[in-house]
Amino acid sequence: MALTRTEGVVIRAFALGDTSRIVVVYTRDLGLIKLVAKGARKAPSRFGFALEPLSFSRFVLYYKPDRDLQLVSQAETIEAMGSSIGSLERLAHAEAALELIDRLVWGEEPHAELYDLLRATLGQLERAPIGALAAVTLAYQLQVASLLGYRPRLDRCASCGQPISPRRVFSPVRGGMLCDRCAALEAGSILLSADALAGLSLLLTRPVEEAGQFAEVQRAGELLKAVEAFYRHHFQRFQGLRSLEMLKSLRSGEEQ
């Protein structure tokens, strides 16, 4: 067992006994790890905000490969996004970004590009106009899927490679657009407007930092439906994003 230094984003945390906490952290060099922070629940805590969800923190660990729980020696906050995010909408979208990592990433398998995408997305969700948050989250979802090997095919038929149908048929099962022939054979497909397809392509291919520049994505409802159906088919552990569902419920209640 060696002392190891790493940095990461706190995904979630929960109590262990009366005084300690278990913290799930996504790191660039160690992947998704679970930490035990002894005494973290004692007041005052020597860890401050370092163990809180949405914190970007620096850790010193007693690290042993293949052990389920790593012991925290020290933790220092670099940035506590959760304490300064400023609005319910931003908080919900940021928590949704964490949910996706928690659902889709398995164990200590480092993925530098995925980690960098998460950090960039959280930064955009903190800075982008409120009206652009949905665009940032959609771009993040599409690019996470791409990095995990499930990139939606939008330029040619995802089934046979032929030109796509003028009706713009998206198949969650096949993972992209379909030609007329394949669309006739495929149940459960979704028809997209021209604006929705253009938005899907834009958010998939442009850096997530640019998504925050878009005050509104055309046909966002269509895109959300298509992306969620795609995720539900290809990622068994994905059951929707609870943070965004709760935000939608709260907003619906306020309008009544």
* The predicted structure's pLDDT at residue 217: 60
Instruction: Note whether 68 and 109 are within 8 A (CB).
Output: no
Distance (Å, rounded) from C-alpha 203 to C-alpha 200?
5
Q: What pTM value is reported for the model?
A: 0.92
Domain-wise residue ranges, the chain:
2-83, 88-244
The correct CATH number of 2-83 out of 1.10.1740.10, 3.40.50.300, 2.40.50.140, 2.40.10.10 is 2.40.50.140
Element (H, E) at 170: strand 169-171
Cα radius of gyration rounded to whole Å, the chain: 20
* The predicted structure's pLDDT at residue 167: 95
* The predicted structure's pLDDT at residue 42: 85
Going across the sheet that includes 176-178, the strands are 176-178, 169-171, 190-191
Q: How many CB atoms lie within 10 A of CB 18?
A: 7
Q: Which of 131, 66, 142, 67 is nearest to 97 (CA)?
A: 142
Distance (Å, rounded) from C-alpha 30 to C-alpha 14?
21
Q: Which of 218, 70, 200, 74 is nearest to 141 (CA)?
A: 200
The H helix count followed by the E strand count for the chain is 8, 8
Instruction: Note whether 38 and 16 are within 8 A (CB).
Output: no
* The predicted structure's pLDDT at residue 95: 96
* The predicted structure's pLDDT at residue 20: 92
Distance (Å, rounded) from C-alpha 159 to C-alpha 184?
12
Instruction: Note whether 234 and 240 are within 8 A (CB).
Output: no
pLDDT in single tens digits along all 256 residues of the chain? 689 999 999 999 999 988 899 999 999 999 999 999 998 888 777 888 899 999 999 999 999 988 899 999 999 999 998 766 778 999 999 999 999 999 999 888 899 999 999 999 999 999 988 888 999 999 999 999 999 999 999 999 999 999 999 999 999 999 999 999 999 998 889 999 998 899 899 999 999 988 877 656 656 778 888 999 999 999 999 989 999 999 888 877 666 5
* The predicted structure's pLDDT at residue 225: 87
Fold type of domain 88-244: de novo design (two linked rop proteins) (1.20.1440)
Tokens of 148: 């995990």
Distance (Å, rounded) from C-alpha 82 to C-alpha 104?
22
